[in-house]
Amino acid sequence: DAGVIQSPRHEVTEMGQEVTLRCKPISGHNSLFWYRQTMMRGLELLIYFNNNVPIDDSGMPEDRFSAKMPNASFSTLKIQPSEPRDSAVYFCASSPADTAYEQYFGPGTRLTVT
Amino acid sequence: EDKVVQSPLSLVVHEGDTVTLNCSYEVTNFRSLLWYKQEKKAPTFLFMLTSSGIEKKSGRLSSILDKKELFSILNITATQTGDSAVYLCAVEAMSFQKLVFGTGTRLLVSP
C-alpha cells in the first residue's frame, strides 16, 4: 500500500507565482482532506471532499486558494497568486469511512514563498 | 467557534519518566476525539475516543475521555527517546468529518 502520495515534497517560489500542490489518496478511500500547518496556527483544515464533491471549504483562507478533485484518485490545491504568508506545510489526508477517524496523512508539501 | 486547547505546549522529560498530556475542547455536537503523533513528517493516528471513562491503551500509551468536563488526557509511561514528537489532539464535530486540531504538545525525551 503506497499510502497518500503528495507532490512536490518541497516547493520554493516567488511571491505572485501560481503554485499547484497535488495529492493521490489511498485507493478506495472516499474522503480527502487538505490541511495547512504552521507554527503559529497549528494544523488547520482547508477543505474536504467526499466522493469527489467538496463538502466544506470554510477553511480556505482567501479566493487565492482553490481546490479540485476531478476523480477519486487525484486532487489539487492551487494558490494564485502566492504570498509569503502562504508559506507552510500542506498536508493531504484520506479516509475510508464516513467519519473523520483514522485519516491517513500524506508526507506533506513544504511551501516557501519568497 | 469550535476550539481545542492542548497543554503543556512543550515538555522535556528524562527517559523512563511518565508524562500526561492534556486536551480540552469546546465543540458543537461532539462526535469523537482523536490523538495523533507527529514526528518529522505527517501525523499518525494513535487513538479515537467517543465514550467517557473508557480507557484506550496501546503499549505504553493510554488515553481517556471525560465528556462532562470536556477534556482528554494522553499518558505515556516509561518514556523512551522514540516518544519524542508533537502530540496532536483533534475533535470531530457532528458536522460530518471535520476535525479541529489543537496546536499540539511538543515532547522531548532526553536519554
* Per-residue pLDDT reduced to its tens digit, A80-113: 999 999 999 999 999 887 666 678 899 999 999 9
Position B8 scores a pLDDT of: 96
Q: Is residue B7 within a helix (H) or strand (E), and if so which, with residue range?
A: strand B3-7
A25 close to B (CB below 8 A): no
Identify the segments of chain A with pLDDT beneath 70: 1, 98-101
Residue B65 contacts residue B90 (beta carbons within 8 Å):
no
Per DSSP bridges, beta strands B10-14 and B105-110 are parallel
Position A110 scores a pLDDT of: 97
Q: Give the count of alpha carbons within 13 A of B111, CB side only.
A: 1
A96 close to B (CB below 8 A): no
| Cell numbers found for residue A43 | 494544523
Nearest neighbour of B45 by CB, restricted to A31, A45, A102: A102
A56 close to B (CB below 8 A): yes
> A63 has which bridge partners?
none
- DSSP string for residues in B75-107: EE-S--GGG-EEEEEEEEESSTT-EEE---EEE
SS3 state at A97:
coil
Identify the segments of chain B with pLDDT beneath 70: 94-97
Position B59 scores a pLDDT of: 96
CA distance B105 to A92: 22
